[in-house]
A = this chain, B = another copy of it.
């Protein structure tokens, strides 16, 4: 398995988040690392999807992964075990988000210079993570079928802030009253530009399209 490291990071309220986020993005662009922030509700399948994507990308690209959690080290360990890539677990001390300053402090601890893609798995939450620019180039959001097709109405900012919206766990569509057309329409009311891809990490549906979207950002 890949290496797992744990870092304790707590909020610095005074930080100028936007400035710090720009600095991170510029650094990542200069060194040729695509930095992707992955957000969703708890249990939407972020880690499972990341594992599946990294497996598809890792022969061609050098990949790193950072996982934010309150105090467990489950996600980073799962990613490292399943994919063999470097994985950093960030403990954020009970906060419901990670901001650019916290990201910068995590990045100071890791040599990312050789990485083509760096994933940041944000904490499971549909409210706070959407409010903080982490310094990532793009925001990816997972929105899982079991959560119901009304979520774009209830957590608007998260849908507005995302560049790629993955409707996940599509293999469970037969078991839920989830109207895909209505869900897409409600996302579109919040965000006309985001790419929307239905995916299932279980069946592999949609993953090739996600890989293409990521590769288009690299080239």
Give A residues with C-beta under 8 Å from B.
41-43, 69-72, 74-75, 94-96, 123-128, 131, 144, 146-148, 150-151, 153-157, 169, 172, 175-176
Among B69, B74, B126, B172, the residue within 8 A (CB) of A42 is B126
B96 and A154 contact, CB distance less than 8 A: no
A96 and B94 form a contact (CB under 8 A):
no
The reply to whether B127 and A94 contact each other, CB–CB distance below 8 Å, is yes
The answer on a CB contact under 8 Å between B74 and A154 is yes
A81 to chain B, nearest CB (A): 14
Q: From A40, which residue of chain B is reached at the shortest CB distance?
A: B42
Q: Which of B42, B75, B156 interacts with A71 by CB under 8 Å?
A: B156
A41 to B143, CA, bound (A): 13
For A153, what are the chain B residues with a Cβ–Cβ distance below 8 Å?
Answer: 72, 74
Chain B neighbourhood of A123, CB < 8 A? 127
Whether the Cβ atoms of B96 and A43 lie closer than 8 Å is: no
**What is the CA–CA distance of A147 and B74 in the complex, to the nearest angstrom?**
15
**Contact status B70-A127, CB under 8 Å:** yes
Nearest-Cβ distance from residue A131 to partner chain B, whole angstroms: 7
Given A69-B154, A155-B70, A43:B128 Cβ within 8 A: no
Q: Is the CB of B146 within 8 A of A41?
A: no
Considering only CB atoms, which chain B residue lies closest to A178 in the complex?
Answer: B43
